[in-house]
Amino acid sequence: MKTRQELKLRAKEALRAQRTTAILLMLVMILKVLALSVFNDIAIGRLNFILVAAVNLLVILALIALAVNVMREYIKIYRGEHTHLMALYGDFKTKFDRKLGGMMWMFLWVMVWALISIPVIILAVYLFRRTGRGMRLLAIVLIGPIHLIALIPAIVKGLEYAMTIFILADQPDVTAREALKLSMRLMAGNKKKLFVLVLSFIGWFVLSVLTLGILYVVYVGPYYYTTLAGFYDEVRVKALTDGNGPPKELKGTVIEVEAEADAVRADETAAIEAQAEIDALDAIDGGNVEVEIEEVEV
């Protein structure tokens, strides 16, 4: 499996070939969210509240399903496959319920784990209100870390479920519920790697905020999601080539992955053979030099 640095380097190389498409994919999603925000600003107070809420719900559900297609195109970009903006809508209606259901199933479980933290947070707030003035400063200092610790289960599970959207995008035969289970299996032993990978983009996210999101659209967003797509591709290949993956659930990718593994092994074999030839030539050259030296001495 590629290291974090190798993944990011490969993502940059892939983006150079299709940067415009990668930017347009990001721009489309952001513009749709902004359009919904503008609609709300105009409609609230002028149209029936139920109608506005219904429009918001429908648009949000459509955007969730569309996000799966966006990730599919970033997977293609990482793999070096040609794509274009209209491919985003090519099969938007195909298995729409599967894409939406898979994402909602993931969100539901993240929320369940997040709810575990609520009693801890309520207790922390209660203790803060009961604390005397002398101890209130200490309570203020401690309440933040307490909240963060309470959210650790949700963060861990979020990492465990992180590949769900990519599985839904890349594996059309995997059902909505299976996608979550498959993500958990692929992320076994890889959660820390993903966590560190995401943390490595924090500086870029800060710069994106400072540029009012412009840098995010034209560089950081495409770079980030192409790298995540690469991470998915790496854990997928690793799971299958190591023999620990579930080929039945990753139907349609086993042959492809075996071909990738064979290509890697062939490259490694070729490199070993080339090095052996170089060593042999060096040995021959060294022997010739020794013979020449002996002839001169004679």
Say what the pLDDT of residue 219 is.
94
Q: What is the mean pLDDT of residues 188-201?
A: 94
Query: In this model, does residue 155 exceed pLDDT 80?
Result: yes
Choice among 84-88, 119-123, 176-180, 288-292 with the minimum mean pLDDT: 288-292
Q: Give residues with Cβ within 8 angstroms of 180, minimum separation 6.
A: 102, 105, 106, 109, 161, 164
* DSSP 8-state class, residue 245: S
Q: Give 161's pLDDT tier (boundaries 50, 70, 90).
A: very high
pTM over 0.85: no
Say what the pLDDT of residue 293 is.
43
Query: In this model, does residue 270 exceed pLDDT 90?
Result: no
Say what the pLDDT of residue 52 is.
82
Sign, CA torsion 286/288/292/297: positive
Sign, CA torsion 119/122/126/128: positive
DSSP result, 94-155: TTHHHHHHHHHHHHHHHHHHHHTHHHHHHHHHHHHHHS-HHHHHHHHHHHHHHHHHHTHHHH
Give per-residue pLDDT as tens, 196-251. Answer: 999 999 999 999 999 999 999 999 999 999 999 999 999 998 888 775 555 455 65
Radius of gyration for the chain, computed over Cα atoms and rounded to the nearest angstrom: 26
Give per-residue pLDDT as tens, 89-129. Answer: 777 777 788 999 999 999 999 988 888 777 777 776 676 66
Q: Evaluate whether 196 touches 175 at the Cβ level (below 8 Å).
A: no
Query: In this model, does residue 271 exceed pLDDT 80?
Result: no
Mean pLDDT of the chain: 80
Give per-residue pLDDT as tens, 37-79. Answer: 888 778 777 777 788 888 888 888 888 989 999 999 999 999 9
